[in-house]
Amino acid sequence: MTDSKNHSPEAGSLEGRVFRPRNPKELAEAVEQAFDYRGDVTLKLRTGETIEGYIFNRTPTGSRPCLQLFPRGELGERIIAYEDVVSIAFTGKDTASGKSWEAWVAKKESQRRAESAQAAAEAKSRGHL
């Protein structure tokens, strides 16, 4: 029983937005948003480095709050301290957007079939069908 119908709001995706927090509170809020986001983000660090990847965990409390990220194109994970983050850009596609049950039902039959066919084609191309 793996199903869970995600009824999160369709509107208000953060895709394309950039957060430049001015203080630790705003930074913590931005990291929370990025942790909830089902897409890649791009972090700009104090060192000047930029990292694109998926934030899968964060530890907002303790003496040195940090986040964990799977960098795109790399195997391992990176641990980055909150204090090293200058900005967070929601650069990757929001993979959860438009995927709720309500959105599915609201779509026309033709759209549903096209979406389903595309998912099938992708799975087939990977040898998963």
Partner 1 sequence: MAVPVSQMYQVVKYVLTQKVKGVKRYPLVLMIEPLFRCNLACAGCGKIQYPEHVLDKRLTPEQCWAAAEECGAPIVSIPGGEPLIHPEMPEIVRGLVERKKYVYLCTNAILLERKLDEYRPSRYLTFSIHMDGLREEHDMAVCRDGVYDAAVKAIRAALKRGFRVTTNTTLFDDAHPERVRAFFDEMMALGVEGMMISPGYSYQKAPDQKNFLKRNRTRELFARVLSDRKRGWRFNQSPLFLEFLMGKRDYECTPWGNPTYNVFGWQKPCYLLQEGYAKTFQELMADTEWNRYGTGRNEKCADCMVHCGYEASAVEDTFGSWSGFGRTVKATLLPNA
Binding residues for partner 1, rule: CB under 8 A, are 1-8, 38-40, 53-54, 56-59, 68, 70, 72-73, 92-93, 95-96, 99-102, 104-105, 112, 115-116, 119-120, 123, 128-129
Tell me the closest approach of the beta carbon of residue 108 to partner 1, in angstroms.
14
Q: Which residues of 40-54 are buried (b: 16+ CB within 10 A; e: fewer)?
A: bbbbbeeeeeebebb
CB 19 within 8 A of CB 30: yes
Rounded to an integer, what distance in angstroms lies between the CA atom of residue 77 and that of residue 49? 16
Smallest gap from residue 19 Cβ to partner 1 (A): 19
Cβ atoms 59, 66 nearer than 8 A: yes
- Choose between 50 and 95: whose C-beta lies nearer to partner 1: 95
Using the Cα atoms of residue 93, residue 27, residue 55 and residue 74 in order, give the sign of their dihedral. positive
CB of 20 to partner 1, least distance (A): 23
CB of 1 or CB of 22, closer to partner 1: 1
**Quick one: 8 or 20, whose CB is closer to partner 1?**
8
Q: Among 76, 66, 13, 11, which Cα is nearest to 43's? A: 66
Judged by beta carbon, residue 68 or residue 87, the one nearer partner 1 is 68
The least distance separating partner 1 from the CB of residue 84, rounded to whole angstroms, comes to 20
